[in-house]
């Protein structure tokens, strides 16, 4: 084994959680190594995203523009055939003032493309990203994690040392136990998912053709996610009683489920199943719902599926992974800068992360009660999150990932200001193309400046004093710094 290399932080895994935390730590000038066992692009499930991720966190990562230009399907909200209402019902993110305007949508993404954008962005931001480099173990000394061992491109075992190791290796993590953590599986969400891909499936009528369609049926529920005008991700989430059928003959199982669900059967009537490439097989996932007993230990932090995941309904996985990545980055940056002690910094990370996880967990338990109307689900969301002025806003904010003040007022508010300025800049560009005489005195650069200032004022007026950083969770607690990437003590801020 060659002599150990030294970094400030080693991140294990290059999914959304790993890319987020590594980029946000590297942006603060620290040396970050990211070790990924696969070669990207690699397949992953989790294709329906939330506005909090594609605008809020993506803006902090500096990748929101690239995501906007990537051509992903625009998701305005969700359409559900769920609960006591026999007819499908639809919600739109635009209902919420926290998302209205240019940030009132999310995307349905092919994860091979989305995750590659985030990983390449980490590289652009100075992270040393090494693919085909599986981590095989953790280096521990004096009760503290000090680094990892991994297999390098030549198949040799190498050791790397770091002040912090971040486990972002997803649901298959073998490392989380080294943070003194146990994985506790939910007794409630014990379903399994069978999923595959179709070409030529039907679409919901405009303007909702990009919505996720979730349809409850006798065995469980289906997701129907339009990934492109022709490609659709279709998954059946069913109870354990279907496990034998699913694992024995997935094709027959899928056909039986489709036949039992008239709305999905109708959508797939003219479609053909993809049979080649990464989308050309049936895939099964189970045992996904768990939460670890600790999210950090001395020298080690867990983010994304390595720490917790609730359930596929409402697409919270990538949101929790990237938000957890942001919270971990704040703690790591603060500790490396020596401005906040380790115990306080990571306790804050864990408190906020658990709170977000808890919101989804509590709400989803009630959402699986099929005897309720959508109004009752909206009411339940307001009861759980206790922030929005109306039930429907509370629901939309929760499932958009902006229920907590810190995401809405900090992360998302920044993204909205940037998106609003971007829209105004486009308006300015259109104005500048007009003949000068038609605009009078305020033309050219003068007009640009005026409109730019107008945009900034409008943004502030729209978002008020809340724009910028969210407050502390508790009196005297920590809150985000002005750039959003560290913790500061509230009283000294």
Residues at the site binding ligand FAD, with contacts judged by CB under 6 A: 12-18, 35-38, 42, 44-49, 134-135, 168-172, 193, 285, 288, 304-305, 309, 312, 315, 317-319, 321
Q: Are 461 and 477 in contact (CB under 8 A)?
A: no
CB of 86 to ligand FAD, least distance (A): 25
Tokens representing 306 are: 């390595």
Tokens representing 55 are: 């605008």
Strand stretches in 99-156, DSSP E: 106-108, 128-130, 135-141, 144-151
Indicate the residue among 88 and 134 with the shorter CB distance to ligand FAD: 134
- Of 202, 291, 286, 211, which Cα lies nearest the Cα of 241? 286
Q: β-strands 5-12, 32-35: how paired?
A: parallel
CB of 43 to ligand FAD, least distance (A): 10
Instruction: Specify which residues 195 forms β-bridges with.
Output: 235, 283
Q: Which helix (H) or strand (E) holds 363?
A: helix 342-367
CB of 303 to ligand FAD, least distance (A): 7
Q: Are 338 and 28 in contact (CB under 8 A)?
A: no
CB of 12 to ligand FAD, least distance (A): 5
Indicate the residue among 195 and 487 with the shorter CB distance to ligand FAD: 195
CB of 151 to ligand FAD, least distance (A): 9
Q: β-strands 478-480, 487-489: how paired?
A: antiparallel
Indicate the residue among 146 and 479 with the shorter CB distance to ligand FAD: 146
Indicate the residue among 35 and 407 with the shorter CB distance to ligand FAD: 35
Indicate the residue among 18 and 202 with the shorter CB distance to ligand FAD: 18
CB of 193 to ligand FAD, least distance (A): 4
Indicate the residue among 36 and 409 with the shorter CB distance to ligand FAD: 36
CB of 72 to ligand FAD, least distance (A): 13
Indicate the residue among 64 and 305 with the shorter CB distance to ligand FAD: 305
CB of 42 to ligand FAD, least distance (A): 6
Indicate the residue among 90 and 376 with the shorter CB distance to ligand FAD: 90
Calpha distance 271→202 (Å, rounded): 8
Q: How far is CA 225 from CA 94, 229, 302, in A?
A: 20, 11, 29
- Of 165, 185, 190, which Cα lies nearest the Cα of 175? 165
Within a 10 A sphere around the Cβ of 165, how many other Cβ atoms?
28
Q: What phi and psi values does residue 140 have, to the nearest 5 degrees?
A: -125, 135
The answer, yes or no, to whether the previous bond of 475 is cis (omega within 30 of 0) is: no
Indicate the residue among 324 and 459 with the shorter CB distance to ligand FAD: 324
CB of 17 to ligand FAD, least distance (A): 3
Within a 10 A sphere around the Cβ of 65, how many other Cβ atoms?
13
Q: Which residue has the tokens 């801020």?
A: 493
DSSP state of 492: G
CB of 453 to ligand FAD, least distance (A): 38
Calpha distance 248→218 (Å, rounded): 20
Calpha distance 12→5 (Å, rounded): 15
CB of 465 to ligand FAD, least distance (A): 31
Indicate the residue among 237 and 488 with the shorter CB distance to ligand FAD: 237
Calpha distance 205→353 (Å, rounded): 37
CB of 230 to ligand FAD, least distance (A): 19
User: In 368-412, which ranges are continuous DSSP H helix?
Assistant: 374-385, 391-400, 405
**Inter-helix orientation angle 391-400/342-367, to 10°:** 120
Q: Which helix (H) or strand (E) holds 324?
A: helix 317-337
Indicate the residue among 103 and 322 with the shorter CB distance to ligand FAD: 322
Q: Are 49 and 106 in contact (CB under 8 A)?
A: yes
Mark 302-337 as b/e (b = at least 16 C-beta within 10 Å).
Answer: bbbbbbbbbbbbbbbbbbbbbbbbbbbbbbbbbbbe
Indicate the residue among 11 and 455 with the shorter CB distance to ligand FAD: 11
């Amino acid at each position: 084994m060659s002599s150990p290399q030294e970094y400030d932080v080693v991140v294990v895994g290059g999914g959304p959680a790993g890319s987020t935390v590594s980029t946000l730590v590297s942006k603060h000038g620290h040396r970050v190594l990211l070790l990924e066992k696969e070669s990207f692009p690699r397949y992953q499930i989790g294709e329906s995203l939330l506005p909090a991720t594609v605008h809020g966190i993506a803006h902090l990562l500096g990748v929101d523009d690239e995501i906007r230009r990537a051509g992903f399907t625009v998701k305005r909200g969700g359409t559900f055939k769920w609960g006591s209402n026999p007819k499908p019902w639809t919600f739109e993110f635009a209902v919420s003032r926290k998302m209205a305007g240019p940030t009132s949508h999310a995307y349905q993404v092919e994860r091979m493309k989305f995750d590659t954008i985030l990983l390449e962005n980490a590289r652009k931001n100075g992270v040393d990203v090494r693919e085909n480099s599986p981590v095989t173990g953790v280096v521990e000394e004096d009760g503290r994690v000090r680094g990892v061992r991994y297999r390098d491109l030549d198949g040799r075992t190498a050791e790397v040392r770091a002040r912090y190791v971040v486990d972002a290796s997803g649901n298959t993590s073998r490392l989380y136990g080294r943070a003194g953590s146990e994985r506790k599986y939910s007794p409630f969400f014990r379903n399994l998912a069978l999923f595959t891909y179709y070409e030529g499936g039907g679409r919901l009528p405009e303007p909702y053709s990009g919505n996720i369609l979730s349809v409850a049926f006798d065995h469980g529920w289906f997701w129907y996610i339009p990934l492109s005008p022709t490609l659709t991700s279709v998954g059946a989430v069913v109870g354990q009683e279907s496990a034998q059928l699913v694992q024995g003959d997935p094709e027959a199982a899928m056909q039986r489920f489709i036949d039992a669900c008239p709305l999905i059967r109708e959508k797939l009537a003219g479609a053909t199943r993809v049979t080649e490439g990464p989308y050309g097989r049936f895939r099964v996932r189970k045992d996904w719902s768990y939460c670890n007993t600790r999210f950090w230990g001395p020298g080690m932090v867990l983010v994304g599926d390595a720490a917790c995941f609730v359930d596929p309904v409402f697409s919270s996985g990538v949101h929790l992974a990237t938000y957890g990545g942001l919270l971990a980055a704040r703690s790591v940056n603060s500790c490396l800068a020596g401005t906040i002690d380790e115990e306080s910094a990571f306790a804050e990370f864990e408190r906020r992360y658990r709170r977000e996880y808890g919101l989804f967990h509590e709400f989803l338990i009630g959402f699986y009660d099929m005897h309720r109307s959508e109004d009752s689900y909206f009411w339940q969301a307001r009861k759980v999150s206790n922030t929005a002025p109306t039930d429907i806003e509370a629901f939309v904010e929760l499932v958009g990932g902006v229920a907590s003040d810190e995401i809405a007022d900090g992360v998302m508010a920044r993204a909205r200001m940037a998106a609003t300025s971007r829209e105004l800049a486009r308006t300015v560009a259109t104005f500048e193309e007009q003949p000068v005489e038609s605009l009078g005195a305020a033309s050219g650069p003068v007009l640009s400046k005026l409109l730019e200032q107008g945009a900034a004022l409008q943004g502030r007026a729209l978002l008020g004093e809340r724009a910028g950083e969210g407050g502390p969770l508790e009196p005297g607690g920590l809150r985000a710094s002005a750039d959003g990437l560290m913790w500061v003590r509230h009283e000294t801020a």
